[in-house]
Amino acid sequence: MPDYDSNAWEDNLIADLRANGGRPSSGPLKGQTLLVMMSTGAKSGLPRRSVLTYHRDGEDYVVAGSKGGAPTDPAWVSNVRANPRVTIEIAGVEHPATATIAEPAERDRLWRQHVAELPWFGDYERKTDRKIPMIRLRPDSAA
């Protein structure tokens, strides 16, 4: 039994990512640059796994807490607020990292970058009244 929340769709997606250099070869996320983030549950303290689309900002990986434009943040945002030490896997290589929620001015700049690289994210902001948080994932080697 895995030590994180697992589901077959996500397991298959991660296997596809690992087999294809970090970009799935099939399915709705075909060709997207994705990373796998392991965080610690804010309430449970248990390992939690999230597959996230990202863009780069310098040495950092930047992800959006979009939840597809839902009215609430995804659970992993609470996890990184409570426990910013994470592990990220990019193209099959794991890196310990620190997650930082971007402050408003930086958040807006990172959001614009994210939407420029991943235009469909613009739709998510139009679906919700909340400010979608932007999270910077800094690998330890970049510190």
Question: Do 66 and 104 touch, CB atoms closer than 8 A?
Answer: no
Q: Give the sign of the dihedral formed by CA 93, CA 94, CA 96, CA 101.
A: positive
Q: What pLDDT is recorded for position 1? A: 35
Backbone angles phi, psi at 44, to 5 degrees: -85, -30
Q: List for the chain the helix, strand, coil content (%; round to 5).
A: 35, 30, 35
> Into how many domains does the chain fold?
1
Residues ≥6 apart with Cβ < 8 Å to 13: 24, 27, 29, 34, 51
Determine the distance from the C-alpha atom of residue 7 to the mean position of all C-alpha atoms in its chain, rounded to a whole number. Answer: 17
Domain membership of residue 3 (yes or no) is no
Domain membership of residue 49 (yes or no) is yes
Question: Do 43 and 51 touch, CB atoms closer than 8 A?
Answer: no
Domain membership of residue 131 (yes or no) is yes
Written as six digits, the tokens of 56 are 């780069």
Domain membership of residue 93 (yes or no) is yes
Residue-wise pLDDT for 69-101, tens only, equals: 999 999 999 999 999 999 999 988 999 999 999
Domain membership of residue 24 (yes or no) is yes
Domain membership of residue 57 (yes or no) is yes
Residues of the chain where predicted confidence (pLDDT) is lower than 70: 1-6, 142-143
Question: Do 62 and 135 touch, CB atoms closer than 8 A?
Answer: yes
Written as six digits, the tokens of 118 are 């991943």
Residues ≥6 apart with Cβ < 8 Å to 54: 33, 34, 35, 61, 62, 63, 137
- Its domain, for residue 93, covers 8-142
Question: Do 85 and 96 touch, CB atoms closer than 8 A?
Answer: yes
Domain membership of residue 1 (yes or no) is no
**103 secondary structure, DSSP code:** P
Compute the mean pLDDT over every residue in the chain, rounded to the nearest whole number.
90
Q: What pLDDT is recorded for position 99? A: 98
Q: What pLDDT is recorded for position 24? A: 83
Q: What pLDDT is recorded for position 87? A: 97
Q: Check which CATH number belongs to the domain holding 77 and give it.
A: 2.30.110.10
Q: What pLDDT is recorded for position 2? A: 44
Domain membership of residue 120 (yes or no) is yes
pTM of the model: 0.88
